[in-house]
Structure 1
Amino acid sequence: MTHDFDPLKPETFDSANGEYAELRARCPVAHSDAWGGFWALMKHNDVAAAATDWQTFITSQQNVVPKVAFTGRRPPLHLDPPEHTPYRRAIAPLLTERKVARLEPVVRRICRDLLADMVAQGGGDVVADYSAHMPIAVFAHWMNLTADAVAELTRVGQRYNIAVQSNDMDSTKESSLLLYDMARGIVADRKANPLPVDEDVTSALLATRVDGEPLPEEMIVGTIRQVLVVGIIAPSVMIGSIAVHLGRDPALQAKLRADPALVPAAVEEFLRLYTPYRGFARTALTDVTIRGRTIPAGEPIALVYASANRDEEVFEDAGQFRIDRPNMKDSLAFGRGTHSCVGAALATLELNVA
């Protein structure tokens, strides 16, 4: 099999985007021998089409490259419709724009407190001292976690994030098991002390019925385990990327300070440029031919959202920051289709405030 690129070679902040641009031009349906072999879709139209065609491209076999789900399935991301639907339906009402808007005072207080600590210390690291903590504190409030649980989530969540980013499989598995232990504790507590289903995601999952039957408890645990991670990693990574960009562009920084009303549009463009999750994976149920290359059934396919969001055929001056893009709706920062990010409204609020 042709080896078109090496995802394991060392990177700088900008180097991956340069390689993606080269692959879009030379080999938009690429193959790598890394991690047992996988395909990668680099063009916007191909990524969007695969993400929306869940009947052909399933997520239940492998949802990321490399495969890191050592410890069981975690709904809704690891399931296909219709199996995934009850889990998403339980979560989604707690993450509507209206529900999330009520959290804005909480997010602002958390951000102010973290920044006040940095100022008192004479400065700090925007990731280690700010963005690594803010999403955890916000998410803990949303999930109604205790102070002890927040401290444990901070410790284990950061460890898991570092392990995944560095492809340390042993540490990833170890920290994932600890997150599962946390999830089991949360589920056990909600079984004993349920909260209103419109205020607590764990209680909502426990109250869900399919054909009169409750969801399997271990699948609820898997859902909470998944929620714990996705809600804290992406905002942290994204804030770090925004900080780098603004540090390089003092004029844009001054413009946003002078007119905060521009911040939401700027955040949308930052999300396009620095998509926090580079992509997710699918597996084709049958052989599929894309741009002249046939991908055999059963082989993992990475949908590289980070490349798709810089596709020059969709976004003019795709590598440049433009706050007034007319087609921002085409951004794949939060995915597309049945597995689009259910927490997009909360993530956007966090970034707008931060």
Structure 2
Amino acid sequence: MVNAMQQQDWDPRSEAVQRDQRAAYDEMRERCPVAYSNFLGWSLFRHEDILRVLNDPATFSNAVSRHLSVPDGMDPPEHTAFRRMIMPYFRPERVAAFEPPCREIAATLVQALLARDELEFIGDFANEFAVRSQSASLGWPPDLCTPLRLWTEKNRRATFAEDRAAMAEIAREFEGYAHELLQIRRTAGDQASDDITSSLLRQQVQGRPLRDEEIVSVLRNWTVGEIGTISASLGILVHHLSEHPDLQEQLRTQPSLLPAAIEEILRIHGPLVANRRITTRAVEIGGRKIAAGERISLIWISANRDGRVFEDPETYRPDRDQSANLLYGAGIHVCPGAPLARMEMRVAVEELLAHTACMEPVPERPPTTAVYPGSGFAALPLRIR
């Protein structure tokens, strides 16, 4: 473990870092690419170092949480079995089947915005779309959307404050929602709704049914990852488009260009700040000696802006090779839900572009940036017509 006298190289929660996370991480990547802080442990900023971690799960374990985390917080062979179980939920045919209801959610929200000259995009669209689409994909009732939206915000605040008591209470709150949903389906028996949540009750891993705590963990991981990341991504995408009207118009007239545009915009401004690992043995990274049992934080935003990998990293170039883009991670823990996330973002932006002539900033009300563990914008005023 790190010596109690270990000097901090930076403070991830400082006002300077939170004011502009991208600039702060860029600066750290060049000045101190392997940096220690009490809050995050050892943070890695270079693409090369992060890729090394992703491709060596035996040395850099995902079992970092005190609580059950299926399958994100598991290592092989346990991770392998659970991941094999969840992967079919993100097959192309399932994602394609969900596209029409997802598009209906987006279209309904867009229509509600058209009567207004000005809106706050994060609260009025991005958060609503993320929560409604996630609930619909899992077969959850619409009246759960508001509690889920509030729960997501409480979870973000508690994580930033490192308030473990609040985080435990927030976890219990979600468990209450999930257990109620499972009980409704058990009571309904053969008449239960045919959705992902019902399906998980029938799943098996290593020859046994899933335990309730495992199902709850799967649902919690999907919900935390999906709602926060999709909302942040939409804010980043729409902000970029509002600042670049020529690109906005090009994508209106050539929607086939949208998938590549989304990947590149989110490479420049990532929606997810970091992910965690823990060392299983002593290692040396970037000249820093790190003991076994140490926390490692992979700073995704910095990796995707590393000029050693991406030429002119701040320049929007949708035709660049995206194979090194770590938007969805890499290695055995690469995000299984990437196909669903890509579809949801594409559909949401398609609907916004198809039903508006222009989305533009509000000069007198600039955006408010999000703080860790969020990225993007906490508030994004827009004018649409």
Question: What TM-score, normalized to structure 2?
Answer: 0.82
Partner of 1:43: 46
Aligned residues: percent identity? 34
Inter-CA distance 252–14: structure 2 relative to 1 (3 Å threshold): farther
The correspondence for 1:9, drawn from 6, 14, 36, is 14
Q: Are 1:139 and 2:134 an aligned pair? A: yes
The correspondence for 1:27, drawn from 10, 32, 36, is 32
The correspondence for 1:115, drawn from 94, 110, 133, is 110
Partner of 1:65: none
Inter-CA distance 146–162: structure 2 relative to 1 (3 Å threshold): same
Question: What TM-score, normalized to structure 1?
Answer: 0.89
Question: Which residue identity is paired with 1:353?
Answer: V
The correspondence for 1:312, drawn from 307, 312, 332, is 307
Inter-CA distance 299–114: structure 2 relative to 1 (3 Å threshold): same
Q: Aligned equivalents of 1:77 and 1:148: distance in 2?
A: 28
Question: Which residue identity is paired with 1:21?
Answer: D
1:187 and 1:221 in contact (8 A); partners too: no
Question: Which residue identity is paired with 2:202?
Answer: A
The correspondence for 1:152, drawn from 143, 147, 150, is 147
The correspondence for 2:224, drawn from 223, 229, 235, is 229
Structure 1 residue 219: Cα displacement? 1.9
Inter-CA distance 176–217: structure 2 relative to 1 (3 Å threshold): closer
Question: Which residue identity is paired with 1:43?
Answer: R
Q: Aligned equivalents of 1:254 and 1:330: distance in 2?
A: 28
Secondary structure class of the residue paired with 2:119: coil
Inter-CA distance 158–194: structure 2 relative to 1 (3 Å threshold): farther
2:276 and 2:296 in contact (8 A); partners too: yes
Inter-CA distance 118–171: structure 2 relative to 1 (3 Å threshold): farther
Question: Which residue identity is paired with 1:334?
Answer: Y
Structure 1 residue 143: Cα displacement? 0.7
1:183 and 1:222 in contact (8 A); partners too: no
Structure 1 residue 168: Cα displacement? 5.7
Secondary structure class of the residue paired with 1:30: strand
Q: Aligned equivalents of 2:19 and 2:207: distance in 1?
A: 51
Q: CA RMSD in A?
A: 2.4
Partner of 1:203: 198
List per-residue Cα deviations over 1:203-236 (Å, max 9, x = no partner). Answer: 3333233443222221222222222221211000
Partner of 2:71: 76
Equivalent positions of 1:159-170 (< 5 A) are 159-164=154-159
Q: Are 1:175 and 2:170 an aligned pair? A: yes
Structure 1 residue 123: Cα displacement? 3.3
Q: Which runs of 5+ in 2 are unaligned?
A: 1-5, 349-385
Partner of 1:247: 242
Q: Aligned equivalents of 2:312 and 2:294: distance in 1?
A: 33
The correspondence for 2:295, drawn from 300, 305, 309, is 300
Q: Which runs of 5+ in 1 are unaligned?
A: 63-68
Inter-CA distance 88–289: structure 2 relative to 1 (3 Å threshold): same
Q: Aligned equivalents of 2:119 and 2:286: distance in 1?
A: 48
1:305 and 1:333 in contact (8 A); partners too: yes
Q: Aligned equivalents of 2:189 and 2:151: distance in 1?
A: 25
Inter-CA distance 18–155: structure 2 relative to 1 (3 Å threshold): closer
The correspondence for 2:256, drawn from 261, 272, 281, is 261
The correspondence for 1:213, drawn from 191, 205, 208, is 208
Equivalent positions of 1:54-73 (< 5 A) are 54-62=57-65, 72-73=67-68
Structure 1 residue 304: Cα displacement? 1.0
Partner of 1:66: none
Partner of 2:347: 353
Secondary structure class of the residue paired with 2:139: coil
The correspondence for 1:341, drawn from 335, 343, 359, is 335
Structure 1 residue 125: Cα displacement? 1.1
Give the count of matched residue pairs: 343
Secondary structure class of the residue paired with 2:78: coil
Deviates more, 1:166-175 or 1:99-108: 166-175
Structure 1 residue 241: Cα displacement? 1.4
Secondary structure class of the residue paired with 1:160: helix
Structure 1 residue 105: Cα displacement? 1.7
Q: Aligned equivalents of 2:162 and 2:234: distance in 1?
A: 21
Inter-CA distance 54–124: structure 2 relative to 1 (3 Å threshold): same
Inter-CA distance 122–22: structure 2 relative to 1 (3 Å threshold): closer
Q: Aligned equivalents of 2:80 and 2:184: distance in 1?
A: 25
Structure 1 residue 122: Cα displacement? 3.8
